[in-house]
Structures are given as C-alpha cells and as structure tokens.
A = this chain, B = another copy of it.
C-alpha cells in the first residue's frame, strides 16, 4: 500500500512534479492545509528545514517541504533562495536582461527537500542540476525559470523537455529520489 505524506506547498506545479517522482517509490502526496513559513536565509536547506519544523509542529503530523532556486554564477548566485519572488516580478525576461552580454552563463538549479515529524529535527535531502542560462526563452512545459535553463551536456531548456525527462535529470528529481530511498529504506 502506498504511503501518503502531507506536502506543504501552495504551488500545484511542484505538487505534480514531486508526486510524479515519488509515485514509483510507492509514496503519494497530499497538499497540507497549512502555510509554508519561509525565512530569508542564505541556503535552501535552512529555508526548507525551518518551514518543515514549523509545519510539523502546527499540524502535528509528518510533512515534506521543498525549496528550490536558480543560482547564476555571473550574478553572485542571484536569484537563489528568492527565485520565486524574482520570477513573479522581473521574470525570465529580467534575468535574460541581467545576463545580456555575459560570457560566463554558468548556473545551477538547486533543490532541498525537508522531511519532519512533529517534535523531531528535520532531515534534508538535496539535488543539484548544473547547467547554463540560455540566450532566449524557449519551451512551454514546466514552470518558473525552466524556459531559460539548459542542463549540462544538453541542448534543450527544461521547458522543452517532457515531464518524465525533466524529472529524470532535474535537481527536484534528485532530491525527492534521495528522500524516497531513505524513507522506503531502499
């Protein structure tokens, strides 16, 4: 029988992606009915841990929290932990503008997944996709900065990959698979 875990997020795209990754491991997700309390911190691990601990305490049940971000080398790591806000305001176009003429286009998509039971300390699992910032927006699948991120060795942006292919190579795929392996004792 599948294990069901509460996932603290307001982002349906994330719920769908994470569900797709965890499903082969016999884990299904359900949106938790509480807010994700996000702190301003330098690392995704801190943001995810803090939010997981707060949510587990609030709803008195084990929860999963995910935090991810795009870290661009030439921009000192920007937008990093604030990728969601940067996406909502300046968007892919703003990031492309900041990168206009930049010779170093290196970037990584990073993900931290925190699992916490009420009263326990969170456990954190991470995933990283190294890659580069494209010259233009391309593709329409995925979400967020997917249309401008190309994984290392690839030619297509994450928004040009189908969901299965993206999950196989993505930062989110890696982090959730690590969690699943630990959770199922594999």
Contact = CB atoms under 8 A, between A and B. Distances in A.
Contact of A98 (B77, B81, B85, B98): B98
A61 interface: no
Contact of A90 (B75, B81, B89): B75
A80 interface: yes
Copies of this chain assembled into the complex: 2
A184 interface: no
A85 B71 CA distance: 13
Contacts of A81: 85
A108 to B, nearest CB: 15
B78 A86 contact: yes
A26 interface: no
A100 B97 contact: yes
Interface stretch (A33-41, A110-118, A161-169): A33-41
Q: Which 7 interchain pairs have the tightest Cβ spacing?
A: A78-B89, A38-B40, A76-B89, A82-B82, A78-B90, A75-B90, A39-B39
A88 interface: yes
9 contacts: A40-B47, A40-B85, A75-B89, A75-B90, A76-B89, A78-B90, A80-B85, A82-B82, A90-B98
A94 interface: yes
A39 B80 CA distance: 15
A27 to B, nearest CB: 27
Interface string A29-54: 00000000111100000010000000
A94 B99 CA distance: 9
Interface-centre pick from A88, A90, A100 (highest chain B CB count, 10 A): A90
